[in-house]
Amino acid sequence: MARRRRRSGRGVGGQIAAIVALAVVSLAVSSGLVYLYLDATSHHVAIDPDSLCPQTGITAQTIVLLDTTDALAQVTRSQVLNQLGDVVAELPRGGLLDIRVLNEDPGKTERLVHLCNPGDGADLDGLTANPDLAKKRWHDRFEVPVAKKLDAAVAGGEQSASPIMAALQQIAAEQLSKQDQRAIPTRIVVVSDMLEHTQFYSMFRDGLDYDGFVAKAGARYLTDFAGARVDLWLVQRDRPDIDPTALAGFWLRWIDAEHGTGTVSRLPGML
């Protein structure tokens, strides 16, 4: 009987190819699992149960100062609420929203809201997270409370002083004096007629001469905005003695001198 020939090395090669293919599949599966794990953990940052802020630190901050020491016209209130709604919507996940109301006691603003945006779940993967639960938390704990506070805040009431500078000075000292605070994007929105009126300096009494202000009270109101964006939403008053262009110029000079980037926009309506 003739001796059978041994098969060529195709059998061994096939085994090697199968092993390699299996290794590739295993690597792909492992990589997918690692990706899913990293994606899930990146969206599951531990947050403070009260403020909803990430325990690893906030990602940005927007501080809103509402000057309601004088009433707002109805059209102005509507515009402010709509624009503030946009401000809230632009806040990134993990960003702090700090809303305060100016009162006549210099430097002592009333804090209405101090919450972080927990995210509405739109960026979550249903395989690794619960978008519906995230959206409910965002709606119940963030969207609704903020809207209610804003609606109540713009009602306003008469007060005898408007210490706008002292309030902004206090905000900067609290929110922009630490290194980690200065390193994150910061926006300050001021809704006000921007008519400073205190015993130390009053635009009604002392006018809008910036150099005169610096000589009289500049040292008292030294502030460091640390490069923050300061948006002034100018509420218009029926005051023919106050030139709105000069008023805007005064505040832009002050913000620039105190290391901020200022903008001014005039709101509709007048009282």
Count: domains in the chain: 2
Q: Per-residue pLDDT tens for 106-136? A: 767 889 899 999 887 675 565 546 778 878 8
pTM: 0.80
> Strand pairing partners for 264?
232
Angle of helix 144-153 relative to helix 74-90, nearest 10 degrees?
Answer: 150
- Distance CA(33)–CA(257), nearest Å, equals 53
Question: Do 126 and 221 fall within a single domain?
Answer: yes
Does residue 163 form part of some domain? yes
Question: Does residue 227 share a domain with residue 113?
Answer: yes
In a domain, 222, yes or no: yes
Assess if residue 51 is contained within a domain.
no
User: Do the Cβ atoms of 98 and 78 come closer than 8 Å?
Assistant: no
Same domain? 31 vs 147: no
Q: What is the pLDDT of residue 17?
A: 54
Residues 118 and 88 sit within 8 Å (Cβ to Cβ): no
**Residue type at position 1:** M
What is the per-residue pLDDT across 216-269, written as a single tens digit (0 to 9) for each? Answer: 999 999 999 999 999 999 999 998 899 999 999 999 999 999 999 999 999 998
CA–CA gap between residue 204 and residue 189 (Å, rounded): 23
Does some domain include residue 56?
Answer: no
| Phi, psi (rounded to 5 degrees) for 116 | -100, 150
* 52 domain residue, yes or no: no
Choose among 150, 162, 151, 62: nearest CA to 102.
162
Hey, what are 78's tokens? 């509507």
What is the span of the domain harbouring residue 37? Answer: 1-42
Q: Do 14 and 87 share a domain, yes or no?
A: no
